[in-house]
Amino acid sequence: MNLIGKALIAQGGGPTVVINQSMVGILTEARKYSQITSVYGALKGVEGIVNEDFIDLTQETTFNLEQVAQTPSSALLSTRVKPDANYCKKIFKVLKAHDIRYFFYIGGNDSSDTVHIVSKEAELDHYDLRAIHVPKTIDNDLVVTDHTPGFASAARFVTQAFAGINLDMKALSGVYIGIVMGRNAGFLTAAAVGAQKFPEDGPHLIYLPERPFIIDNFVADIKKVHDQYGFCVVAVSEGIKDPAGTPIILSLLKDIEKDAHGNITMSGTGALGDLLTAAVKKGLGISRVRSDTFGYLQRCFLGCVSDVDQQEARDVGEKAVQFALANNCNGSITIHRVGDYAVQYKMTPLADVAGKTKYMADEFINEAGNHVTDAFKSYLKPLLGSSLPPCAKLAAPAVTKILNK
């Protein structure tokens, strides 16, 4: 098969620190094939397609591309627009006008849905188009794939943050509550365990959207840990829900913001952390209770990246092009874990991935619903990459007291 025409790359949804690796992977691989006549980039995702805001990526230098690959966030800019059938008709008019035959959209659940809609619209229009979803999301909530590019680096951020917080709280005592991104899936919050080493190390408690959140249990759990160790470090997902399934943050925010996908805005406010802090102070009478909302730091922090994530993000870009040309079908690139640790890449039908959400498996969550299991730790560890700095403690023996005998 030899579908001749241009390729188009776009990036959608929230950025990650490795999403540009995928873009550069697609671009550099696509340029090896003569049937791909040139490679365009759409600025601001599907918005840029409709507006024909394209740049000609074949006119980038190799050195600059490699610098961009290492730069966080979406170099092609992004969008939260979710195209309906009418929006897709506009897209096709543009694709046809520019003779674009290969469409690579890098994004999460919402973006895979977009690719799916676009590909169905292309079929209806009898327009020969390869539409490929290249996975990306720090939430790690795509189905079929073992994990998503972008997750591992964000997980490394959360790991490094909690490693430092644990040492900070050990030194000055008290209770710390860190609010981590994750609307429906708790993977990123669970990554707080990544550097746990000694038995007394935090995070001592982890609360996930997959389990009902009951504030009284939360306070009682913290009391138990604080009584034992003199400090307590807690990881809480921004998406925690009450037993009826209503997000806890919903009861806090007067003006709920929703994006075009119907998602509630949960980051960019410290409200949830402040509520939980107040509950602990009131319930336990501990004065030093602190909360941080990790917010946007965790998804784009310059220089906190997993080398495994970097490589896989590049790989899924290259594989997207290879599958598009070798298989001549549409799909989503998925990562499959083989052994401990290696991966294989596959092309999965869009209908199997689009718009679906993966949650943490039951085997990853402890029985009490307030921590993770060893199975999750084994799942997480290889993703975090190499060269985590040491977390050591002094081992010197105590000196015999003279006055306070």
**Closer to a second copy by Cβ: residue 59 or 86:** 59
Name which of residues 37 to 56 contact a second copy (CB under 8 A).
Answer: 40-41, 51-56
Among the listed ranges 209-217, 220-228, 268-276, 339-347, the one in contact with a second copy (CB under 8 A) is 268-276
Listed in sequence order, the residues at least 6 apart from 348 whose beta carbon sits closer than 8 Å to its beta carbon are 144, 145, 331, 332, 333, 334
* Site size for a second copy (CB under 8 A): 90
> Among 56, 99, 128, 139, which one carries the catalytic annotation?
139
> Looking at this protein, which amino acid is placed at residue 226?
H
Name which of residues 16 to 35 contact a second copy (CB under 8 A).
Answer: 17
144 backbone φψ class: left, alpha, beta (φ>0; ψ -120 to 50): left
Residue 314 is a binding residue for a second copy (CB under 8 A): no
> Helices 109-124 and 85-97 sit at what angle, rounded to 10 degrees?
70
Per CB under 8 A, the list member of 119, 137, 145, 160 interacting with a second copy is 160
For residue 402 the two structure tokens come to 């003279």
Per CB under 8 A, the list member of 4, 164, 251, 341 interacting with a second copy is 164
Listed in sequence order, the residues at least 6 apart from 134 whose beta carbon sits closer than 8 Å to its beta carbon are 22, 26, 104, 105, 106, 107, 316, 317, 320, 332, 333
Name which of residues 84 to 123 contact a second copy (CB under 8 A).
Answer: 93-94, 97-98
Given a contact cutoff of 8 angstroms between Cβ atoms, the answer to whether 294 and 2 are in contact is: no
Residue 139: active-site member: yes
Residue labelled with tokens 């429906």: 184
Taken as a whole, the chain contains a residue count of 405
**Closer to a second copy by Cβ: residue 339 or 397:** 397
Residue 392 is a binding residue for a second copy (CB under 8 A): yes
> Looking at this protein, which amino acid is placed at residue 264?
I
- The 8-class DSSP code of residue 345 comes to E
What is the Cα–Cα distance from 212 to 384, expressed in whole angstroms?
A: 28
Neighbours of 22 (CB within 10 A): 31
What is the Cα–Cα distance from 357 to 377, expressed in whole angstroms?
A: 21
The interface mask with a second copy, positions 165-184, x = CB under 8 A, is x-xx-xxx---x--------
Among the listed ranges 130-138, 157-165, 183-191, 318-326, the one in contact with a second copy (CB under 8 A) is 157-165
Name which of residues 316 to 375 contact a second copy (CB under 8 A).
Answer: none
Residue 252 is a binding residue for a second copy (CB under 8 A): no
Distance in Å, CB of 140 to a second copy, minimum: 19
Among the listed ranges 14-22, 102-110, 313-321, 354-362, the one in contact with a second copy (CB under 8 A) is 14-22
Among the listed ranges 64-72, 104-112, 201-209, 324-332, the one in contact with a second copy (CB under 8 A) is 64-72
The interface mask with a second copy, positions 68-87, x = CB under 8 A, is x-xxxxxxxxxxx-------
